[in-house]
Amino acid sequence: MDITIVFRIAAVGILVAVLNQVLIRAGREEQAMMTTLAGLVVVLFWIIQYISELFDTVQTLFKL
């Protein structure tokens, strides 16, 4: 529960954005799309762990 996850996601986002631009300039649009999807999936995995932890906490807290 530390703030480094926010920086990690921002770093992946910026990295994918830069890679996107580089690949588009190099004329490989489909690979740019691929890297965006790859970055998206990686970040989604992290986020889903945090969301499931949030929902577990809420469930135990409010006895849902």
Q: Which positions touch other proteins (CB under 8 A)?
A: 1, 3, 5-7, 9-10, 12-14, 16-17, 20-21, 36, 39-40, 43-44, 46-47, 50-51, 53-55, 57-59, 61-64
Please calculate the CA angle 20-7-31 and round it to the nearest 5 degrees. 15
Q: How far is the CB of 62 from other proteins (least distance, A)?
A: 3
Whichever of 11 and 27 has its CB closer to other proteins, that residue is 11
> Coil, helix or strand for 21?
helix
Closest by CA position to 43, among listed 1, 21, 11: 11
